[in-house]
Amino acid sequence: MSSWSSWLAERSSEVASSHRVQLALTATISLGIGVSAVVGLQGVRRWYNIYDLKESIPQLNQPHDVEAINDFGGAVPEENVESREDERSAALARRARLGDYDEGLILEQLARNRVFLTDEGLAKLRKAFVVVVGCGGVGSHATAALARSGCGRLRLIDFDQVTLSSLNRHAVATLADVGTPKVLCLQRRLQQVTPWTNFDCQNQLFGEKTARAQLSPWESDGQKPDYVIDAIDNVNSKVALLHYCHTNGLPVISSMGAGCKSDPTRVFIGDISASTEDPLSRSTRRKLRLLGVKDGIPVVFSTEKSGDGKAQLLPLPEDEFAKGSVGELGVLPDFRVRILPVLGTMPAVFGLCVANHVMLDITGYPHDYLASKARTKMYDGILGLLQSLEERLAKHYGYDFVGLRMPVTVDDVGYLVEEVWRGKSVVSGLPTRLALTRWRKPLGEWVDMSILGQKTDKLQLDDLVLMTKDEMLKHEKLVLREGMAPEDVYDQEVVAVAERRWQEERRYRMQR
């Protein structure tokens, strides 16, 4: 009996073991079939998606609709079709601006700014009205930073549209925005981030004749702009904006050229009189000086110098000049007709610096920046050296030099040193121990005695060049006393530079 029980137990164990093996095998096979099915399904789906995408792209020989191209090179949609997300964001923004948005959510979103600027500072920023003129690389980053930081009202002014080449430096634009006005692109994207921000978009060119209307108070309650941001890359429009703001007491900060720049460690904020190594800044300063504005405007600028291997603005090809007036090549009059080399990160650096300054100034947060050159003392010294030189020459040529008056002021000296001669000797290029001197020997009656017995020097700004003090003394001996021609003393390159700078100065003066 015991042997029978033992045999039955052994058979039962074998059957149970066999059953578990069968279950394991079945599960393994099922898993394999399932994995194969999933992989196969994914492959089919991937193939279908690729096929569907390819089929949606028309062949070159197939007829297909092409949207019209406007004057600025962007596509004009037949209808203003917004995506569901855009529609939802626009609706949320409308409700938020009407007050239908939780204040606690706003404060939570602005929590980091709140603890940095304090409640009082953040409140000032949320009530602020800032105008941004120019919504490209610099302006878009400044606008985005201000909106994200809580600025309550933003007026955006720009005539241009988003292009494919804008996407390397624009703060928020996407491929879907190509062909749309830059101001509307900024509003559409930023209201998805801060729906409570109030936008006033003006898709138009800024100009001297329209400045009063474009910089007017906010329509609903008459609030004046707390700050104006100049992010324009056209000199005439930039000068018109800065002159208007300076004349009318509107706080303004200007971004100088970010093109051809690559070193973020050389970006500074300072007075416009301190900006150097930037053609846009130089042209702006010169034209503002002709309008009586020489300082008092904060600017963001780079001190980076050009050099071998660095990007630079290339001249137009000769065949473009052969086509006729170069001005006709531009989209609008006075706007550049060449592609400016721009590293996409640098406009962002400039724009964020601009926004940073505006936020600190509006909220009253302490900030000390690079001071202006404060070179008035140096200009006084150069004017004194020029006075002494003219008195020595008057004595040498037999005039009574006592009480000799010159029609040159300290401002004139500053203009000549910084804008015409760019702070360097025309002879050696050295920037130290500078002095102004006549370029050629004075001819004729160059001291006027006709006005109430006053002795007045007939010296003109066109007569003067910048040298070092040692070079000036040598020049005085050889040219101004002995009568040698500058062409006999200096090489052709020095003479050519002097003539070129005078021609440039005369062109600027004609615009006065």
Average the pLDDT over 302-313 and give the result: 77
- The confidence score (pLDDT) of residue 140 equals 97
Check residue 210 and report its DSSP letter: T
Instruction: Fill in the amino acid letter for 29.
Output: I
Residue 413 sits in the same domain as residue 280: no
Residue 329 sits in the same domain as residue 384: no
For residue 319, pLDDT beyond 80: no
Residue 254 sits in the same domain as residue 351: yes
The tokens describing 52, both together, are 């569907």
Residue 503 falls inside a structural domain: yes
For residue 472, pLDDT beyond 50: yes
Instruction: Fill in the amino acid letter for 432.
Output: T
Instruction: Fill in the amino acid letter for 180.
Output: T
The tokens describing 240, both together, are 């018109």
Average the pLDDT over 37-42 and give the result: 65
Residue 188 sits in the same domain as residue 215: yes
Average the pLDDT over 213-218 and give the result: 96
Q: Which of 97-101, 268-272, 449-453 has the lowest mean pLDDT?
A: 449-453
Contact status, residue 289 vs residue 505, Cβ threshold 8 Å: no
3-state secondary structure of 162: coil
For residue 403, pLDDT beyond 50: yes
- The confidence score (pLDDT) of residue 83 equals 67
- The confidence score (pLDDT) of residue 103 equals 86
Residue 39 falls inside a structural domain: no
- At 154-208, the pLDDT tens digits run 999 999 999 998 999 999 999 989 999 999 999 999 999 999 999 999 999 999 9
pLDDT confidence bin for 77, thresholds 50/70/90: very low
pTM of the model: 0.67
Residue 357 sits in the same domain as residue 392: no
* CA dihedral (214, 220, 224, 227) positive or negative: negative
Residue 89 falls inside a structural domain: yes
Residue 389 falls inside a structural domain: yes
Bigger pLDDT: 487 vs 67: 487
Single out the residue in 334, 363, 392 at which a domain terminates: 363
Average the pLDDT over 135-163 and give the result: 96
Single out the residue in 300, 330, 363 at which a domain terminates: 363
The tokens describing 456, both together, are 């007045």
Q: How many domains does one find in the chain?
A: 2
Residue 328 sits in the same domain as residue 396: no
Residue 221 sits in the same domain as residue 265: yes
Bigger pLDDT: 418 vs 116: 116
Single out the residue in 313, 338, 363 at which a domain terminates: 363
Residue 17 falls inside a structural domain: no
Bigger pLDDT: 212 vs 260: 212
Segment holding 28, helix H or strand E: helix 2-56
Contact status, residue 160 vs residue 374, Cβ threshold 8 Å: no
- The confidence score (pLDDT) of residue 128 equals 97
Closest CA to 286 of 510, 132, 133: 510
- The confidence score (pLDDT) of residue 487 equals 94
Cβ atoms within 10 A of the Cβ of 302, count? 26
Bigger pLDDT: 205 vs 25: 205
Average the pLDDT over 272-301 and give the result: 84
For residue 270, pLDDT beyond 90: no
- The confidence score (pLDDT) of residue 126 equals 95
Residue 253 sits in the same domain as residue 282: yes
- At 246-260, the pLDDT tens digits run 999 999 999 998 888
Percent of the chain with pLDDT over 70: 75
Bigger pLDDT: 22 vs 160: 160
Residue 312 sits in the same domain as residue 192: yes
Residue 419 sits in the same domain as residue 278: no
Q: Which of 9-18, 226-235, 273-282, 388-397 has the lowest mean pLDDT?
A: 9-18
- C-alpha of 502 from chain center: 29
Taking all residues of the chain, what is their mean pLDDT, rounded to a whole number?
A: 81
3-state secondary structure of 132: strand
Residue 220 falls inside a structural domain: yes
Percent of the chain with pLDDT over 90: 45
pLDDT confidence bin for 480, thresholds 50/70/90: very high
Residue 227 sits in the same domain as residue 270: yes
* Host domain of residue 316: 75-363
pLDDT confidence bin for 151, thresholds 50/70/90: very high
The tokens describing 445, both together, are 């009656």
CATH code of the domain in which 358 resides: 3.40.50.720
Residue 350 sits in the same domain as residue 403: no
- The confidence score (pLDDT) of residue 310 equals 79
Contact status, residue 435 vs residue 441, Cβ threshold 8 Å: no
For residue 60, pLDDT beyond 70: no
- The confidence score (pLDDT) of residue 330 equals 43
